A and B are shown apart, each in its own frame.
Chain A
């Protein structure tokens, strides 16, 4: 069982909908991440939060809005998405942010379909 929990597992939304993806970890990790993974491709980094502050935004369109309410929770708010945004969205955490030796712990992802 993964120690990073993502909900929902599947999400279908229209282009005018507003929805949120949620991620939770209770390992005391101080860095949390959002990745996007298209089929048969590696994960692409979207956002990094370190100590609850946004530290990296990989030029992600504003229709994706991250939020880190506390050190255990990470949300990704979605609005006015496009069909090409359909993908597996992975949350990850690591013990420390900004240090290369902290391996990532991934959740099982939310499979998003935009219709």
Chain B
């Protein structure tokens, strides 16, 4: 079984500041890792994913995440945030085999202050 821990339930930052949202996972098998974002009153949207290959993955809106197998982490970073990045961010994991069962972390509420 897999589990995900998002270490911060809330992260307030000022606009244009850098941000890191932390995610650690636990699994006895190889996994795929995802970050999903949920804007207010909306469903979840895939932000980025790690399947294999380069451990650094990037999204189209400036976020990046790095898979660190030794530390079992998949932290999300952005060098300069915008007001529009205010949202709930969920880290998720699934095993590379078996049923499509995503295990989500508890979420991190990112609040951008002007």
Contacts and interface: CB of A to CB of B under 8 A. Distances in A.
A43 B32 contact: no
A12 interface: no
Interface of A is mostly: loop
A82 to B, nearest CB: 24
Given A42-B90, A48-B100, A98-B99, A104 B106 contact: no
A96 B90 CA distance: 22
A21 to B, nearest CB: 13
B98 interface: yes
Interface size class of A (residues with CB under 8 A): 20 to 34
Contact of B96 (A2, A45, A56, A101): A101
Contacts of B43: 2, 4, 90, 92, 106-109
A99 B98 CA distance: 6
A25 to B, nearest CB: 12
B44 A103 contact: no
A99 B100 contact: yes
Interface of A: 2, 4, 31, 33, 40-43, 45, 48, 50, 55-56, 90, 92, 94, 97-109
Given A31-B100, A98-B99, A99-B100, 5 more contacts: A48-B101, A100-B95, A103-B34, A103-B46, A104-B36
B41 interface: yes
Choose among B49, B99, B101 the residue with the greatest number of A CB atoms under 10 Å from its CB.
Answer: B99
Choose among B36, B44, B97, B101 the residue with the greatest number of A CB atoms under 10 Å from its CB.
Answer: B44
